[in-house]
Structure formats: structure tokens, C-alpha cells
Amino acid sequence: MGLIFGLLLIAEVEGWLYRAIRRQAVRDEARPAGAIAVFGAAQYNGVPSPVFKARLDHAFELEERGLAPLVITTGGHGADPRYTEAGVGCDYLIQRGVAADKIVSDPASETTFQSVQAIAAILSARHAKTCIAVSDGFHLYRIKLMLRARGIVAWGSPVPDSPIESDPWLRRMYSLREAFSVTLWYLGYRGG
């Protein structure tokens, strides 16, 4: 009986997290902030993947609206020793017209947690405590949770034309994975 109760409780908690993730995923909270933080995604030989390009294009639009004086790009090498996601993102934004001195890159982050740590350090060095977090919608609940733990007020701004969010199956799978990642975060795991 205890096992069944435990499994039902886990299912209820995960269901609640999934719903919270999906509510955040469709809510654009963009407003003036200390920075726009773009979370990295794959790049291929120096070119942003479609997912990363959508994130960068959205960050560009927010920057064009004058919502922040700084854009932070994150993401390490991944499997490519020549390029980092942060560097590719920086180059892409400069090509789109963002002034180079308005962009700070963190090329060392390999996980969301490491990106959050870097963003918090960059903001702290500039005496800023707010940012607009730009990523796919499914990712924003956890990002905001992690940034809040670092003393940063983050407003989520989901990518409107995300290749992941546009596909119902991918949206569901990534959101379920996020629910599991958030559970691990609440249990104290800080690796992802």
C-alpha cells in the first residue's frame, strides 16, 4: 500500500511540475532589465542550429526594443573543439547588428546550471540583479528557478518560433524531461 501511495504522490508532483513548466513556456514576461541572457544550444561548424538561431533571433528582437543594455550569450564547446555556442551566438548577433560592446559571452558553460552561475557573476560585476531569460519555453521554468537561487530576478521570454515547441511530440518530451530535471534540482542535484 505504501508503494502505491508513493508512486501516486510522485505522479502527482511530476504532473504539477509539468503543468507549471507548460504555463511558464507560453508566458512572455519581457520587460526592461539589466541584461538579456541567451541560453546556448547546438552549433554546427560555427553556424547556430535552428534551435539556437531562433533563440538568438528572439534576443535580437528584444535588444532592438531597447529592453536591456547588455546581451549575454552562453554555451561551451560541446563536441566541437573549434567553436563555442557563446562565441557563435556573439558573432551571429554582431552580424545582425548588435554592437560588439553590448555583448558578453560565457564560453565555458556546458550545462544550464553553469550558464546560470556565469550569468549571475556577469550581472553581479555590473551591479545588476535582473535579466530576461531567452530560451525555448520548456526550459524557462528551471532557468528562472536557478537564477532566483542566485539572487537574480529573471523574466522568461520564450522563443516564439521554437522548432522544439512547434512540434507537439518534441514539446511534450522536452517538457517531461524538464519536470524530471526540476525534481532533481529540488532534491539538491546541481549538475545539469
pLDDT string in tens for the chain (192-residue length): 777 766 666 667 778 899 999 999 999 999 999 999 999 999 999 999 999 999 999 999 999 999 999 999 999 998 888 999 999 999 999 999 999 999 999 999 999 999 999 999 999 999 999 999 999 999 999 999 999 999 999 999 999 989 999 999 999 999 999 999 999 988 887 766
Antiparallel, parallel or unpaired: β 43-44 and 47-48: antiparallel
- Under DSSP, the state recorded for 190 is -
Class of 2-186 in CATH: alpha beta
Coil vs helix vs strand at 134: strand
pLDDT tens-digit readout, 5-29: 666 666 677 788 999 999 999 999 9
Angstrom distance (rounded) from CA 65 to CA 62: 5
pLDDT for the residue 7: 61
Dist CA 101 CA 90 (whole Å): 10
pLDDT at 186: 86
